[in-house]
Amino acid sequence: MSKRRTMLDKLWRAHEILCREDGISLLWVDRHLVHEGSHHAFAKLTDRDLQVARPDLTFAVVDHYAPTRDRARIADPKIAGMIDTLRKNAQAHRLRLFDLHDQDQGIVHVIGPEQGLTLPGLLINCGDSHTSTHGAFGALAFGIGATEVAHVLATQTVWQRKPRTMRITLNGTLGPGVTAKDIALNWIAALGTGGAQGHAVEYAGSAVQALSMEGRMTLCNLSIEGGARLGMIAPDATTFDYLKERPFAPDLDWEAAVTTWSTLASDEGAIFDRDVTFDAAEIAPTVTWGTSPEQALPVTATLPDPTAVAPEKAKAIDAALDYMGLQPGRPLEGTPIDQVFIGSCTNGRIEDLRAAAAVLAGQRAKVPGLVAPGSAQVKAQAEQEGLDDVFKTAGLTWAASGCSMCVGMNGDLVAAGKRCASSTNRNFRGRQGPGARTHLMSPAMVAAAALTGTIIDVRRFLGERAA
């Protein structure tokens, strides 16, 4: 009997050029995505007088430093310099650049799929940890550091040890108001930020299959916050429908490609190194309360009490509550917030904006906030649907696309001590600015928080359906 293979086995085999005696494989890279932060890697290349090996497989995008207001003139010379350096490198190496004013510009993990650069069966690298997003299409996609980026630029290959396999199965159906974001925060809270360390996570089960591509991308995107090397979902009709007729998707080869892609799913009965199962129906809208994505709770819960746990755990809880300015044992719901942010490669896609706008619809927010679409195309689509008016009527700022307040590199920051309800992926200390306090949640939950000025269960806004 032939061995039953996981999707990771299949993808690995399809890219393995050679395997050394010490078990490290040299893998072929199908797509390499670079951004302003890749300047260290380009400098390494220049130092050695090397050229990019495959400019046709390398794509550059302005996103991390992209101004979301006032694009015509960039006041900060450091930010302008970062964008200019990428332009120069892209030009010197003849790379397709999705520049600031390009109608296809956006966050690298949003535009890859949008352009059809992301396809099932590909190996995709980017010098960014959330490269795991692209695994939603059945691709082998993982983030790498600057030295490895330089290596991929120079050779179109990457050295890797094969990760262990882990399957996270979500059975059942998600309740109303519960999203892929909640699935992710829920499993990370259950298993910890090191819960999937060294593993390639494959998501399976009816609740995952039922997700749109947007939802699948959110789920795979957050894999890294649970310590996983990458996340992936078997491609199916939802995947193919999303990709058909995207600019870089196969055209004449479409049928052949779909036939090949349909063989990528893990074989029935394939064994994973770890198998974890959750019941989707039990997941509530989930919110982080601390400074690590594992410090997340159902919105209906109360904040942890350090006096009620073992001393070695108490220290971390104490420190997080202190940084976040929260009282132990109090209900999470009702915590007043100062501002909101909707955007990022986790939740800055059209479906995310629709979900937030549906909650806001015609009402005014109690706190200010920023909405930065994940790409220029998402922005155009949202404007066509009138979502921008919903956000503006609510009193939120409608901005241009980029990483924006997810990381604050472009100057969109949360001030010290301010509390932000955010659709992003990291609630680390200082992530949104020095001293900033971040609560991660789904876009609909962020919208609900905006309306009331407090952290609140979005299911209260769903009327009959929530009953």
Partner 1 sequence: MAGWTIHQGRAVHLGLDNIDTDQLIPARFMSTPRAEGYGQFLLHDLRSDPEFPLNRHRDVSILVAGRNFGTGSSREAAVYALFDAGFRAVIAPSFGDIFAANAVNNGLLPARVSDDAQAELAAFLAAEPAEITIDLNTRTIALDDRTFPFDVDESWRTKLINGWDDIDLTRQHADKIAAFAACRAFSEPWVFPTASD
Q: What are 441's two structure tokens?
A: 């949640």
* Strand 140-143 relative to strand 274-279, pairing: unpaired
Question: What residues from 421 to 440 belong to the interface with ligand SF4 (CB under 6 A)?
Answer: 425
Task: Report if residue 230 touches ligand SF4, rule: CB under 6 A.
Answer: no
Residue 461 touches which of ligand SF4, partner 1, none (Cβ within 5-8 Å per kind): none
Residue with tokens 């649970």: 226
CA 187 to chain centroid, in Å, comes to 15
426 φ/ψ angles, rounded to the nearest 5 degrees: -130, 125
Binder of ligand SF4 out of 64, 93, 134, 459 (CB under 6 A): 64
Task: Report if residue 284 touches partner 1, rule: CB under 8 A.
Answer: no
Residue 319 touches which of partner 1, ligand SF4, none (Cβ within 5-8 Å per kind): partner 1
Task: Report if residue 334 touches partner 1, rule: CB under 8 A.
Answer: no
Residue 380 touches which of ligand SF4, partner 1, none (Cβ within 5-8 Å per kind): none
Specify whether the CB–CB gap between 192 and 229 falls below 8 A: no
Binding mask 389-428 for ligand SF4 (x = CB under 6 A): --------------x--xx-----------------x---
CA distances to 218, 357, 457 from 178, in Å:
13, 16, 10
Per DSSP, 302 falls in state B
Binder of ligand SF4 out of 130, 134, 151, 419 (CB under 6 A): 130
Task: Report if residue 45 touches ligand SF4, rule: CB under 6 A.
Answer: no
Piece of the chain touching ligand SF4 by CB under 6 A; list 102-110, 113-121, 258-266, 288-296: 102-110
Binder of partner 1 out of 156, 169, 179, 218 (CB under 8 A): 156
Task: Report if residue 344 touches ligand SF4, rule: CB under 6 A.
Answer: yes
Binder of partner 1 out of 84, 91, 247, 279 (CB under 8 A): 247
Residue 62 touches which of partner 1, ligand SF4, none (Cβ within 5-8 Å per kind): none
Nearer to ligand SF4, 15 or 130 (CB): 130
Task: Report if residue 320 touches ligand SF4, rule: CB under 6 A.
Answer: no
Long-range Cβ pairs for the range 26-30 (8 Å, 24+) = 26/157, 26/158, 26/159, 27/123, 27/157, 27/158, 27/159, 27/160, 28/123, 28/156, 28/157, 29/57, 29/123, 29/124, 29/125, 29/152, 29/156, 29/157, 29/158, 30/57, 30/122, 30/123, 30/124
* Helices assigned H by DSSP within 162-212: 180-191, 206-209
Specify whether the CB–CB gap between 232 and 7 falls below 8 A: yes
Question: Which residue ranges make up the site for ligand SF4 (CB under 6 A)?
Answer: 63-64, 107-109, 128, 130, 344-345, 403, 406-407, 425
